[in-house]
Chain A
Amino acid sequence: MKRALPVLALTAAAVIPLWRYEPSLGSTSTEAAPAPTPSSPPASSSDGTVTRTVQGSTVTTEKGPVQVEVTFEGDRISSVRMLKQPHHPQTTAAVPKLVEETLSEQSADVDTVSGATVTSDGYKESLQAAIDAKGGA
Chain B
Amino acid sequence: MLRVEHVMGFPVSVRVDEGAAEPEAAADAVFAWLRQADARFSPFKPDSEVSRLDRGEVPADEISPDLLEILTLCEDYRVATRGAFDVRLPGRGLDPCAVVKGWSVQKAADLLAAAGATRFCVNAGGDVVVSGGPWRVGVRHPEHADRLCTVLDLTEGAVATSARYERGDHILDGRTGRPVRGLLSLTVAAASLTEADATATAAFAMGTEGIEWAASREGCEVFAVDEGQRVLRTAGFPVAA
* Binary contact track B195-238/A, C-beta < 8 Å → 1, others 0: 10000000000000001100111100010010001111111110
Contact of A110 with B151 in the complex, beta carbons under 8 Å: yes
Contact between A107 and B147 (Cβ–Cβ < 8 Å)? yes
B156 at the interface (CB under 8 A from A): no
Q: Is the CB of A100 within 8 A of B69?
A: no
Give the contacts of A17-61 with B (CB-CB under 8 A).
17-18, 20-22, 24-25, 34-41, 52, 54
Q: Which of A10, A97, A117 contacts B235 (CB 8 A)?
A: A97
With A38-B88, A122-B166 in contact, is A117–B125 under 8 Å at CB?
yes
Interface size for B (C-beta < 8 A) is 96
Is the CB of B100 closer than 8 A to any CB of chain A? no
Q: Does chain A have a CB within 8 A of B155?
A: no
| Count, A-B residue pairs, CB within 8 A | 256
Alpha-carbon distance A18/B150, docked complex (angstroms): 28
Which residues of chain A are within 8 angstroms of B69 by Cβ–Cβ distance?
11-15
- A108 touching B73, Cβ below 8 Å: no
B144-169 contacts to A (CB < 8 Å): 144-152, 159-163, 166-167
Q: How far is the CA of A101 from the CA of B229 in the complex (A)?
A: 9
Partner of A108 from the list B54, B135, B136, B232 (CB cut-off 8 Å) is B136
If the complex has contacts A112-B137, A135-B2, are A75 and B58 also in contact, measured as CB distance less than 8 A? yes
**B202 to A, closest residue via Cβ:** A18
Residue A105 interfacial (CB < 8 Å): yes
Return the 8 tightest CB-CB contacts between A and B, nearest first: A36-B83, A115-B161, A136-B2, A110-B138, A75-B56, A80-B75, A8-B61, A101-B231
